[in-house]
Structure 1
Amino acid sequence: MRVPLPALLGGSALLLLLLRWRRRRALWRKVAEAQERQERSLVRMEAAARRFREQHPSVNMVSILSLPLPELSKKLRDGSLPPDHVFYAYVGKALQIATETNCITEFLQESETQLRKAKLMEKQGLLYGVPVSIKDSIDCQGHDSTLGFIKNLNKPAAEDSVVVQVLKRQGAIPFVKTNVPQSLISYDCKNLIFGQTCNPLLYTRTPGGSSGGEGALVGGGGSILGIGTDVGGSLRFPAAFCGICAIKPTGNRLSKRGVMAGVVGQKAVAAAVGPLAKDVESLALCLRALLSEDMFSLDSTVPPLPFNEEVYSSTKPLRVGYYETDFFTMPSPAMRRAVRETKQLLEEAGHTLVPFELTNVDCVVFSYCVRGMFADGGRSFVKKFEGEMEKGGTGLLFWLAKAPHWLKTLLSWIAKPFVPRFSSIVRSMKENTVDEVWSLHHEIEDFCHQFIAQWKKLNLDVMLCPMLGPAFGIGYPAKLSVAVSYTMLYNALDFPAGVVPVTLVTDEDEEELKGYKGYYQDWWDRTLVKAFRGSVGMPVAVQCVALPWQEELCLRFMKEVETLSLKKNSFF
């Protein structure tokens, strides 16, 4: 008997709906299991911290948590502070911050075993006994690196990433993994598995991303040292938004083996692994520990450049380039004031400040960064989302990556007279030939050499730059992908860049914001002013930059900025 065509089509449609429902149900089950694991982790942390407090009621947790990393590390190594006192003080504090901000995805239970071994071993390593938090995307043996994707659940890493191996060899104790935005290509911090992470300073604000869980945990005092990654500002946004310090090294100064990337294989925009901490000296201590023989022997692609103590400890006056704006993203009043006040402090301290003229940032953002990261038209980026239930957090980029070439061309042409930035971003998302990709890489190399030539013509040591801030409200980063211009420039150039908080938003800054128009006066500029509003009391940072492989000079400059700002202000 022949089945009527309408009945056949109806049956097929019903079958497809049933299969789709079953697949989604299976995905939700995986999400629920992951959330239960997260909850169990927090319960284990609570039980461990409570057990220690009951057994050691006289231990002053507050005094331990108040110690800066260099002093804490010294006390651990000389034996005046037992490692279990430090470990459980931070487990307890991390639990509190996780409850408030949802920044921790998993407690690394083997950290307690490592702690017991540390108590028995002869003290060694610069980070002996120091609890360290690790970003989700950095492999820890036996644990998932999800990047916020459901498909990556229940796929534990076979071994530790090189950076985690080196941390352990230096005596550090990785104890938690922290939340990230789905795909990492966002400077908010939300995914369908673990949800939204909040800023510890103001819960309605984003902590930044993609190392947002790290920013929230370190910024809230639940970790004394965190390890994250940066491909467009992913260390610097969380640090600036949460009022702490971070450094993005030159891309290959620290090993990226075992570190998962948001866009795999692209070489146009350099990614980097780096630390976040409350102060610059803590960042320097971390790099001293990581830039060891262990790093170079475990990953021979990393140049064997140990930490240069002489450069970091130098007191020679610096010749500092500076600019207040990149003429692409208009700085908020607080951003501009942060640069001006820091410039004045540096001049009063005997340093020479030289104006630096920044040009063609729109070309860097669109032609180099967006086009370089999505050189295949965004196909590999879209592929990462296959089978996922949510594509949030990436906003316009995901939609454009999915759009066919003819639609991108048409949209770019129609939009050019009215919204030129939108037109440029659409045009930059087209699929490139191999020849075009090679030409692009050559253009980026030329741009880098031109930038360095301008730097050397002015005989600069370092550069003082604005850093986007204050922290946006949750959800705004997805609407403001173009606002990464201040940070992404130094990924395209592959220069080391760090952030240091220097001031807080004032009532005067908020009042000045009423006159904010932006350089393009388009939808992005109108949205940006809304994102800046209502931020009185929130921290604002500056960016400190050096030439490639000069992390120690970058840190030395950051330390100078930090010291001068602390002398002037008493809010940190």
Structure 2
Amino acid sequence: MPQPTWQDITARKRAERDAKIPSEWRLAESLPPGTRPIDFLPRCGILTEHDLAITNPARDATDLLAQLSTGKVTAEDVVRSFCKRAAVAQQLTNCLTEIMFSEAIERAKWLDSEFKKNGNKPAGPLHGLPISVKDQFYIKGYDSCIGITGLCFKPAKSTSQAVQMLLKAGCVIIAKTTVPQTVLTADTDSIVFGRTVNPYNAEFGAGGSSGGEGALIAMGGSALGLGTDAAGSVRMPAAVCGIVGYKPSAYRIPVDGQRILGKGIMGTTSLGPPGVSGLLARSVRDARLAARVMAEAQPWNDSPFIYPHPWMQIPSPSKPRIGIWLTTDVVHLHPPVARGLRLAHDRLKRAGYEVVELAPPPFEKASEIHFKMGEFMDVSHMRKLLESEPQTKIVQAMGNMTAKGTQPELTVEYLHELNFQIARIATQMKRYWRHDGKPLDGILFVNAPHTAVPFDKYLWVAFTGIINVVDWTSIAIPLNEKADKNIDVAMPLEDCYNDLDLSIQKLYDAEKFHGLPLSVQLIGQRFGDEKLLALADEITPIITQRGQSKL
């Protein structure tokens, strides 16, 4: 019997997924040209007013859990509404890989019965919460194909520890979400599932590599998402889709039980800048709650990769001192991105915060080292798999799967030199936290020089990647602001610093970028996660103008 072609496998995998959407949840029409997916969803005719109220993205998981834990709403009712909304989100943005609606509803029914059996007591701190999981994580009985045909129809034999922790806390997994082919790019497109589009503009990307999570949560189809971040893969899609994305310090949330990219990234400590498991959420307090729940599960008892680090109840400083990188000497920020950062700066100052302008860090050097460290990942298995299918445009552009013979010679001495350079950058950047001899509580910056960009154009990830290089913690926070063609005028191209800057500035088109969400990232010190999340929770109402400072 002849081996199936990549076209055969792709067709079969997509058909398997699509068959799991009930016929009554299928759209009668495709997205009209020029319509934003996020605008079309509420009026698509599938969701009832009750469904829309239950799943409203303005209502965060913390609020939903308060109603679930008291029995005001049932897990079945909530999960069913989220499954319907996720089904619509899939049809509008192409964000799902493994659909688990039937299993999710059955689990929700079981949680409701346990709730009644135990005297109206929830099964855990996240009782009945509908969540989604990046395709990379193993869930027993489901594929983790990471967008590669050669990994399809090979269901996992076990479930990753991070997923198990969320299930034990009472969550209900409704779906797994799309990633780019290889999981090594910032635009989510694969041969297996195709492209995931941005909820705010279907001609723009959803970021990556947790792009399916970003799109699904922005569309209101999930209350919480589990992703990964090795160079910004949680923060980038969160930023371009207008949601929260939390990158913890390494060794806090389990990473084992994933489809790994290469042997070089595993070990009790990482080779080079560590990749982490992270969270995508509707609000900062949701990310903070989930991070606390996962820490309180004491994952270090079962994982050799986790440091014993019990959750600490750390309040935000009474008078926070926040640093800010307003400019860089490598690339200019796109006009809406620069405006958003300046708005956050000005709003904090008006609210009485001390905001300190800092010289920019060595983005270019850190990015160079980060890329070179990636050469040490043993991706020979993945390279072999890609011989059986075409590479996507973004994979080709990134050069991640360069033929072995064209790579530089990798020696132990070369690795030692790169590690030494990382140590020098970490030492240099540590000084930020004692600027002028006084401590900083956080550093504010952006996640990229641009918002979402057209397909296959998200190529430079230094603004998020540098945080991975030094293993700081960070959280992407939506600003409740959008790119505005009437305000955000393109800069003269002759003012660009270099060819990289020129290529990035050429992407910007005020008309096309109009309406895309703006975001910042708040950065904390290594293992300062509790403090970062507390500070982020405090300043978010201020930088989004949704509340007033306590100062």
Structure-1-length-normalised TM-score = 0.83
Q: Percent identity?
A: 24
Aligned to 1:438: 416
Aligned to 2:283: 279
Aligned to 2:319: 317
Aligned to 1:79: 71
User: Amino acid of the residue matched to residue 204 of structure 1?
Assistant: E
Aligned to 1:51: none
Aligned to 2:394: 393
CA distance in 2, matches of 1:39, 1:202: 23
What displacement does 1:559 show?
Answer: 2.0
What displacement does 1:38 show?
Answer: 0.9
Task: Describe the SS at the equivalent of 2:507.
Answer: helix
CA distance in 1, matches of 2:400, 2:282: 37
Match of residue 111, structure 2, among 118, 126, 141: 118
Aligned to 1:448: 426
What displacement does 1:451 show?
Answer: 1.1
Q: Which runs of 5+ in 2 are unaligned?
A: 27-46, 266-270
Aligned to 1:33: 12
Matches within 5 A, 1:380-529: 382-398=383-399, 401-402=402-403, 404-405=405-406, 430-458=408-436, 459-468=439-448, 469-477=450-458, 481=459, 483-502=460-479, 503-514=481-492, 517-521=495-499, 525-529=502-506
Match of residue 89, structure 2, among 90, 97, 103: 97
CA distance in 1, matches of 2:11, 2:153: 12
Aligned to 2:195: 196
Offset from partner CA, 1:122-149 (integer Å, 9 cap, x none): 3131110001011110111111111111
Task: Describe the SS at the equivalent of 1:85.
Answer: helix
1:46 aligns with 2:36: no
What displacement does 1:175 show?
Answer: 1.1
1:302 aligns with 2:306: yes
Alpha-carbon contact 1:326-1:486 (below 8 Å) kept = no
Cα distance change, pair 95–400 in 1 and its aligned pair in 2 (3 A): closer
Aligned to 2:39: none
Offset from partner CA, 1:326-361 (integer Å, 9 cap, x none): 322321112222222111211222221112212432
User: Amino acid of the residue matched to residue 556 of structure 1?
Assistant: A
User: Amino acid of the residue matched to residue 14 of structure 2?
Assistant: Q
CA distance in 2, matches of 1:97, 1:440: 43
Cα distance change, pair 146–329 in 1 and its aligned pair in 2 (3 A): farther
Aligned to 2:36: none
Alpha-carbon contact 1:229-1:272 (below 8 Å) kept = yes
What displacement does 1:399 show?
Answer: 7.5
1:61 aligns with 2:40: no
Alpha-carbon contact 2:95-2:215 (below 8 Å) kept = yes
Cα distance change, pair 59–464 in 1 and its aligned pair in 2 (3 A): closer
Cα distance change, pair 107–340 in 1 and its aligned pair in 2 (3 A): same
CA distance in 2, matches of 1:511, 1:373: 37
Structure 1 runs of 4+ with >4 Å offset: 376-381, 514-517
Match of residue 362, structure 2, among 353, 357, 360: 360
Offset from partner CA, 1:195-245 (integer Å, 9 cap, x none): 111111111111111100000000111111111111111111111111111
CA distance in 2, matches of 1:334, 1:59: 34
CA distance in 2, matches of 1:532, 1:555: 34
Alpha-carbon contact 1:97-1:220 (below 8 Å) kept = yes
Task: Describe the SS at the equivalent of 1:511.
Answer: coil
What displacement does 1:401 show?
Answer: 2.2
User: Amino acid of the residue matched to residue 271 of structure 1?
Assistant: G
Aligned to 1:567: 545
Task: Describe the SS at the equivalent of 1:320.
Answer: strand
CA distance in 2, matches of 1:36, 1:465: 42
Alpha-carbon contact 1:499-1:544 (below 8 Å) kept = yes
Query: 328-337 vs 379-388, which deviates more?
Result: 379-388
Count of residues paired in the alignment:
509
Alpha-carbon contact 1:129-1:172 (below 8 Å) kept = yes
CA distance in 2, matches of 1:210, 1:61: 29
Matches within 5 A, 1:217-228: 217-228=216-227
Task: Describe the SS at the equivalent of 2:376.
Answer: coil
CA distance in 1, matches of 2:17, 2:166: 24
